[in-house]
């Protein structure tokens, strides 16, 4: 290295000696800055540490006035030092004072120094401080010098992270090794959880930063890279979803990076400065992470992630650490943090200890979300860089109702959340007390409250909610969380388990609603411009009958000697129902011919999700045993709003005259035809929604299990006739500018109803 005395290797060796000396933290830090200044032929070397209050404090200096140590404190966005910290990037200037961000602090006496090189002190992508060298002369520091200072900063990062400096800090101004972070994501699964971070893919923590023998370290790095390349080639050869389910494009990206000369060169360079092979990987990975934290372009961020994952693999290779976390050894109150996770992986964890889930990706419809909801695990998604921001064991709060995350919360926030958890528990206990009460309104109307389900983990909810049965069993969920098509025997055993768990209570199975946006990873997907309106559900079932036939066979066998209630999704025309029913008849004949015991009783219905059915209600009622309204899709198609698009999904309230008129007409016609009408969309899970539905004549609703308590509590206190009286004019003469929801809420509060 030009201009340096002895180069970075000598410096690192000396620093190692200083680290091992039995001196105080301040003395050690003072020695470190002297060593760096001497080695880099700089007149000044200063170390700033980021504090919990977000400011940067001068902790040690060689060259600036010593009185400024622990006195000079700047905001994190102040001056060049602040810029280095906030950008997490080096700044190299030959004339610092002409830089617009320069801020002069008279107590330091730094006005005479013109050149400035500042590098962030980074650990796992987080800034812990800033290391600066300065010279009087107008000098541009060489690339090698920048590199050397960054390497040196790693040693400081370890020192800060060890907590050694806390003894030098005033209370409330400790080094921000683990600052409180409030992060806002997307609420995926309701509930509040307080606990401690467990990384789904644990990071490797390096313990040995400085090399004994550089050549040996280079050899270790080269060998690890060779193994990594062979592994990636292997994974690609083995096929698409090998080794933890990585997707092919991810593997292609891995291969590209594993052979990327620039990346390898940077790691070798880092090792050549005197770091161990693993510290060299981390040194370069730290830069990647810092870039990742700033990157807003989703594609580039994705690629940086791939590179980060690959560096993790390399690190594990070097440290000989096993990939798989100990899933059966979760600590109490574990909050799982992951970039992304498959549903099967979540089910592998010990449910009794798992309290919450935080995902970097993962939207409301992702499969892991479906499972988290079924398990009642509060979950938040779309927390950018989540795994990089946390340390295992960190205290964390997950608010699955709002999407807020508090990492390392201060006591007041923790107390407030703990109070909310207690409140929820109290309310839950009140709901629990209503469990075995029949659901009859104040004016004597019985309302059947059932639950929606789809996975084996949902079954205990029949008992603990006191539901009248399962109003919607989404059979596609078993297919969505599997890694390959569930065999007919697996379908059969799930359906049997469902019927066994329900006992005498009715279960309505919905045939597969896959295709379109409900993609199965192992099924060939077709490019569709509007998948929700595309080749899905019954359309796919009728066009490719093989799949539906085997499902029907499994359902019919599972219900042998019992009642089978069956319904078809996305029926748009009566003849689709006729065709589907004919398939059932066909399978019945087949089973009968083979001597199977058939279901004792069959009830076959259809879902009302496509508005075209609204104009065929009489014909449909003449055919079906029952109709079940899928208000999620009916709303989506009636208003032409994509239910999965956050920009428009909440644009129209289902509690508005057009949808309520349609729903009223379905219930009304059902009554005239003497056929059961039920509703299983989300509207029934919203207490105000349920109030409106009962007011327009619905006497059977199917809800999310968590909605059972609040909806039942409301209905028990409701005067249904009175609600009908006030709602009817709102629907028939929608003149008022006050929305129906607001008026129903006002009614509820006047009646003392909790909604």
Name the 3-class secondary structure at 186: strand
Annotate 285-316 with DSSP letters as a single string.
Answer: HHHHHHHHHH---HHHHHHHHHHHHHHHHHHH
Nearer to ligand PEP by C-beta: 681 or 697?
681
The single residue among 630, 687, 697, 709 that binds ligand PEP, judged by CB under 6 A, is 630
**148, two tokens:** 């050397």
Q: Shortest approach of ligand PEP to residue 631 CB, angstroms?
A: 5
Binding mask 575-614 for ligand PEP (x = CB under 6 A): ----------------------------------x-----
The single residue among 62, 382, 448, 633 that binds Mg ion, judged by CB under 5 A, is 633
Nearer to Mg ion by C-beta: 62 or 609?
609
The single residue among 26, 227, 493, 632 that binds ligand PEP, judged by CB under 6 A, is 632
Nearer to ligand PEP by C-beta: 532 or 542?
532
Binding mask 673-702 for ligand PEP (x = CB under 6 A): -------xx---------------------
> Candidates 79-87, 344-352, 614-622, 631-639 — which segment interacts with ligand PEP by CB under 6 A?
631-639
Name the 3-class secondary structure at 336: strand
Q: Shortest approach of ligand PEP to residue 686 CB, angstroms?
A: 13
The single residue among 190, 513, 587, 686 that binds ligand PEP, judged by CB under 6 A, is 513
d(CA 358, CA 514): 27
631 binds, among Mg ion, ligand PEP, none (CB under 5 to 8 A by kind): ligand PEP
Contact 370, 346 (CB under 8 A): no
- For residue 754, give Cα distances in angstroms to 312, 444, 588: 50, 19, 47
Nearer to Mg ion by C-beta: 391 or 609?
609
Annotate 678-726 with DSSP letters as a single string.
Answer: EE-SGGGGSHHHHHHHHHTT--EEEE-GGGHHHHHHHHHT--HHHHHHH
Binding mask 534-553 for Mg ion (x = CB under 5 A): --------------------
Q: Shortest approach of Mg ion to residue 609 CB, angstroms?
A: 5
Q: At what angle do helices 7-20 and 25-39 cross, to 10 degrees?
A: 170
Nearer to ligand PEP by C-beta: 474 or 664?
474
- Please report where in the chains the tokens 């199977």 appear, as a residue: 596
d(CA 378, CA 192): 6
* Count, residues near ligand PEP per rule CB under 6 A: 10
Confirm or reject binding of residue 630 to Mg ion (CB under 5 A).
yes
Confirm or reject binding of residue 387 to ligand PEP (CB under 6 A).
no
d(CA 401, CA 379): 9
Burial of 595 (0-12, 13-18, 19+ CB in 10 A): exposed
Binding mask 570-609 for Mg ion (x = CB under 5 A): ---------------------------------------x
- For residue 124, give Cα distances in angstroms to 77, 287, 295, 397: 21, 9, 16, 21
Name the 3-class secondary structure at 639: helix
* 268 φ/ψ sector (left φ>0, alpha ψ -120 to 50, else beta): alpha
* Count, residues near Mg ion per rule CB under 5 A: 3
- Please report where in the chains the tokens 């990206």 appear, as a residue: 253
Binding mask 424-453 for ligand PEP (x = CB under 6 A): ------------------------------
**223, two tokens:** 């060998």
Contact 701, 450 (CB under 8 A): yes
What residues between 41 and 80 interact with Mg ion by CB under 5 A? Answer: none
Nearer to ligand PEP by C-beta: 256 or 532?
532
Q: Shortest approach of ligand PEP to residue 744 CB, angstroms?
A: 20
Known catalytic residue at 367: yes
Q: Which residue is nearest to Mg ion (CB)?
A: 633
Show the 3-state SS of 537-557.
HHHHHHHCHHHHHHHHHHHHH
Nearer to ligand PEP by C-beta: 313 or 510?
510
Q: Shortest approach of Mg ion to residue 86 CB, angstroms?
A: 46
Q: Shortest approach of ligand PEP to residue 635 CB, angstroms?
A: 8
> For residue 582, what are the contacts with CB-CB under 8 A and spacing of at least 6?
none
Partner residues linked to 336 by β-bridges: 198, 357
Catalytic residue among 45, 47, 439, 680: 680
474 binds, among Mg ion, ligand PEP, none (CB under 5 to 8 A by kind): ligand PEP
d(CA 149, CA 46): 12
Binding mask 468-497 for ligand PEP (x = CB under 6 A): ----x-x-----------------------
> Candidates 121-129, 393-401, 528-536, 625-633 — which segment interacts with ligand PEP by CB under 6 A?
625-633
Q: At what angle do helices 261-272 and 277-294 cross, to 10 degrees?
A: 130
Nearer to ligand PEP by C-beta: 258 or 663?
663
- For residue 286, give Cα distances in angstroms to 41, 250, 266, 303, 698: 26, 21, 12, 15, 59
Nearer to Mg ion by C-beta: 152 or 636?
636
Catalytic residue among 305, 367, 406, 664: 367
Other Cβ atoms within 10 Å of 583 Cβ, number: 18
Q: Shortest approach of ligand PEP to residue 420 CB, angstroms?
A: 29
Number of helices (H) and strands (E) in the chain: give both, helices first.
27, 22
Confirm or reject binding of residue 120 to Mg ion (CB under 5 A).
no
What's the distance, CA 557 to chain centroid?
A: 38
Q: Shortest approach of Mg ion to residue 621 CB, angstroms?
A: 20
Q: Shortest approach of ligand PEP to residue 661 CB, angstroms?
A: 18
Known catalytic residue at 680: yes
376 binds, among ligand PEP, Mg ion, none (CB under 5 to 8 A by kind): none
> What is the β-pairing status of strands 676-679 and 626-629?
parallel
The C-alpha R_g of the chain, in whole angstroms, comes to 32
The single residue among 307, 633, 688, 704 that binds ligand PEP, judged by CB under 6 A, is 633
Handedness of CA 167, 169, 173, 178 (dihedral sign): negative
> Candidates 167-175, 300-308, 343-351, 624-632 — which segment interacts with Mg ion by CB under 5 A?
624-632
Catalytic residue IDs: 367, 680
Chain residues in the site for Mg ion (CB under 5 A): 609, 630, 633
Chain residues in the site for ligand PEP (CB under 6 A): 472, 474, 513, 609, 630-633, 680-681
């Amino acid at each position: 290295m030009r201009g340096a005395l002895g180069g970075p290797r000598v410096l690192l060796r000396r620093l190692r000696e200083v680290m091992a000396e039995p001196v105080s933290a301040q003395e050690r830090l003072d020695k470190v800055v002297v060593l760096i200044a001497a080695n880099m032929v700089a007149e000044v070397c200063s170390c700033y540490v980021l504090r919990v209050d977000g400011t940067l404090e001068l902790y040690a200096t060689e060259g600036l006035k010593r009185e400024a140590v622990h006195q000079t404190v700047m905001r994190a966005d102040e001056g060049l030092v602040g810029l280095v910290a906030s950008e997490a990037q080096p700044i190299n200037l030959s004339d610092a004072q002409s830089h617009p961000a320069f801020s002069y602090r008279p107590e330091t006496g730094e006005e005479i120094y013109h050149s400035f090189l500042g590098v962030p002190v980074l650990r796992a992508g987080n800034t812990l401080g800033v290391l600066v060298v300065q010279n009087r002369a107008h000098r541009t520091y060489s690339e090698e010098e920048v590199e050397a200072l960054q390497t040196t900063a790693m040693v400081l990062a370890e020192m800060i992270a060890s907590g050694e400096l806390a003894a030098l800090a005033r209370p409330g101004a400790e080094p921000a090794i683990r600052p409180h972070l409030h992060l806002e994501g997307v609420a995926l699964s309701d509930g509040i959880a307080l606990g401690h971070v467990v990384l789904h893919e644990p990071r490797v923590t390096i313990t040995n930063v400085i090399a004994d023998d550089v050549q040996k370290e280079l050899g270790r790095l080269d060998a690890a890279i060779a193994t990594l390349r062979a592994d990636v080639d292997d994974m690609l050869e083995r096929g698409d979803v090998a080794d933890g389910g990585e997707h092919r494009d991810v593997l292609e990206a891995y291969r590209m990076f594993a052979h990327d000369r620039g990346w390898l060169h940077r790691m070798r360079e880092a090792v050549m400065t005197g770091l161990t092979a693993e510290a060299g990987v981390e040194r370069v990975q730290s830069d990647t992470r810092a870039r990742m934290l700033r990157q807003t372009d989703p594609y580039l961020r994705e690629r940086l992630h791939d590179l980060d994952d690959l560096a993790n693999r390399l690190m594990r290779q070097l440290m000989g650490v096993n990939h798989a976390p100990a899933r059966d050894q979760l600590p109490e109150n574990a909050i799982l943090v992951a970039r992304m996770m498959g549903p099967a992986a979540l089910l592998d964890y010990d449910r009794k200890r798992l309290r919450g889930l935080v995902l970097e990706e993962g939207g409301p419809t992702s499969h892991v979300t479906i499972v988290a909801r079924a398990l009642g695990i509060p979950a938040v998604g779309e927390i950018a860089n989540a795994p990089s921001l946390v340390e295992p064991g960190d205290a964390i709060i997950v608010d699955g109702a709002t999407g807020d995350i508090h990492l390392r919360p201060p006591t007041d926030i923790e107390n407030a959340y703990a109070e909310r958890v207690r409140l929820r528990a109290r309310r839950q206990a009140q709901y629990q007390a209503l469990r075995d009460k029949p659901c009859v309104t104040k004016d004597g109307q019985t309302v059947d409250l059932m639950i929606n389900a789809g996975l084996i983990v949902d079954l205990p909810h029949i008992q603990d909610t006191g539901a009248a049965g399962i109003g919607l069993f989404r059979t596609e969920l078993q297919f969505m969380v599997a890694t390959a098509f569930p065999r007919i025997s697996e379908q059969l055993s799930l359906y049997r388990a469902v019927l066994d768990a329900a006992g005498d209570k009715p279960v309505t199975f919905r045939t597969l609603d896959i295709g379109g946006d409900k993609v199965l990873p192992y099924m060939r997907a077709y490019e569709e411009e509007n998948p929700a309106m595309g080749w899905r559900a019954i359309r796919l079932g009728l066009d490719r009958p093989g799949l539906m036939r085997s499902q029907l066979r499994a359902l019919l066998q599972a219900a042998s000697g019992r009642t089978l209630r069956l319904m078809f999704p996305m029926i748009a025309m009566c003849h689709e129902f006729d065709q589907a029913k004919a398939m059932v008849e066909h399978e019945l004949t087949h089973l009968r011919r083979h001597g199977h015991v058939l279901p004792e009783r069959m009830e076959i219905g259809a879902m009302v999700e496509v508005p075209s059915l609204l104009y065929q209600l009489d014909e449909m009622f003449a055919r079906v045993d029952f109709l079940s309204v899928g208000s999620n899709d009916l709303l989506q198609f009636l208003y032409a709003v994509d239910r999965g698009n956050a920009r428009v999904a909440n644009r129209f309230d289902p509690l508005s005259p057009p949808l309520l008129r349609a729903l009223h007409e379905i219930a009304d016609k059902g009554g005239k035809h003497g056929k059961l009408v039920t509703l299983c969309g989300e509207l029934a899970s919203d207490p105000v929604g349920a109030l409106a539905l009962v007011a327009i004549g619905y006497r059977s609703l199917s809800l999310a299990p968590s909605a059972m308590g609040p909806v039942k509590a409301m209905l028990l206190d409701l005067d249904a006739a009175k609600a009908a009286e006030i709602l009817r004019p709102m629907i028939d003469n929608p003149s008022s500018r006050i929305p129906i929801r607001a008026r129903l809420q006002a009614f509820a509060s006047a009646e003392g109803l909790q909604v």
